[in-house]
Structure 1
Amino acid sequence: MIPIFLCGFMGCGKTTVGRIAAEKTGRAFIDLDEYIEQSAGMTIPEIFEKYGEKHFRQLETEALKLLSHSYSVIATGGGALLDGINVCIASKNGLVIFIDTPFEMCYDRICDDPHRPIAASSTKEQLKARFDDRYPKYKANSAVKISGEGTPDEIADRILEVI
């Protein structure tokens, strides 16, 4: 059995849907950001502040290497599967699924979240530009694209249909 890697923009539902999909398939669920926080002993905002985004991205790669052999549903961070090395790790060892959620839905979920350093330090226009830049990369770097509209249960059921 291979891991399932969920990708998509911040707030697309990777964690919420991933938990449900993991439960329905009898797999473990891992939120990559939470895993990194536990491993590093600090929050993501603290990692960004103390070491910068580049260091955080290195931690993502190391975590993906370790988790790529698990029988899990893994919710990746919004930028994790934009890096070529990370894409290779995930696609070689598992199934990458893009949760395609409209920007406005994502924005409503992330706009006031201080735990998301990129969202907290960006305007709506900057986030929209980031979304537009990342969208074709999510499509290109995933094996499957599913709609992120609907209830979390409906989205999780779409994942089950794929796997």
Structure 2
Amino acid sequence: MNNLILIGMMGCGKSTVGRLAAEKLGLAFVDTDERIEAEAGRTIPELFDAEGEEGFRARELDVSRALAREGGLVIACGGGLPTRAEAIAALKASGVVFWLNREPAVIYDTVSMAHRPLGQGGKEAFLERFRQREPIYRRWADYIIEGHTLAAEAAGRIAALYERECQA
């Protein structure tokens, strides 16, 4: 069975929408950041401090490859995972990729960035990171879910598209 993969900026709702979609579809939910934290026994900020971004991205690649070998999962990817082509390519080969494309200024204004290593640096840095990642997200997405406001609505749309893909 194919995996359902969610990509997008940090704070766009991947975990919330993913859990709801998994429930609707009767699939297991996995958040790559949570999996990395569980395997490392440390938080993402602690990993960034100890290993830097490159060390964290190496862990992300390992988790991506492992999850790609499984099936029937709803996978919420860390916001930067698609910037590492090897990691997102492994996941894309295992299923259908949905980009939750929420307005970055809205994300920044509504989500606490205090405990997010790459959420530091202020709003302009966050918006610049989005500008850099937008073409990457667009490249890997099979479907783009634009500007959702209700997580349940986005999850319903994603579940319906996923089911249609799996029947094709």
TM-score range, shorter chain: over 0.9
Shift of 1:148: 3.6
* 2:16 alignment partner in structure 1: 16
| Aligned-pair Cα RMSD in Å | 1.1
Give every structure 1 segment of 4 or more consecutive aligned residues whose post-TM-superposition deviation is greater than 4 Å: none
- 1:71 CA drift (Å): 1.4
Q: Shift of residue 122 of structure 1?
A: 1.3
Could you give the per-residue CA deviations for residues 111-154 of structure 1, whole angstroms, max 9, x where no partner exists?
Answer: x33321110x2111111011111111101111111124221100
Q: Tell me, what secondary structure is at the counterpart of 1:52?
A: helix
Asked if structure 2 preserves the Cα contact closer than 8 Å seen for 1:8 and 1:100, the reply is yes
For the residue of structure 2 that corresponds to 1:70, the secondary structure is: coil
Tell me the TM-score normalised to structure 1 length: 0.94
Equivalent residue number for residue 104 of structure 1: 105
Between 73-82 and 140-149, the greater mean CA deviation after superposition: 140-149
In structure 1, what residue type is equivalent to 2:95? G
CA–CA distance in 1 between the matches of 2:146 and 2:127? 19
* Identity between Structure 1 and Structure 2 (%): 39
CA contact 2:105–2:123 (8 Å) conserved in 1: no
CA distance in 1, matches of 2:43, 2:74: 22
Q: Does structure 1 retain, via aligned residues, the 8 Å contact 2:8–2:99? A: yes
Shift of 1:91: 1.3
Corresponding residue for residue 136 of structure 1: 135
CA contact (8 A) 1:28 1:72 kept: yes
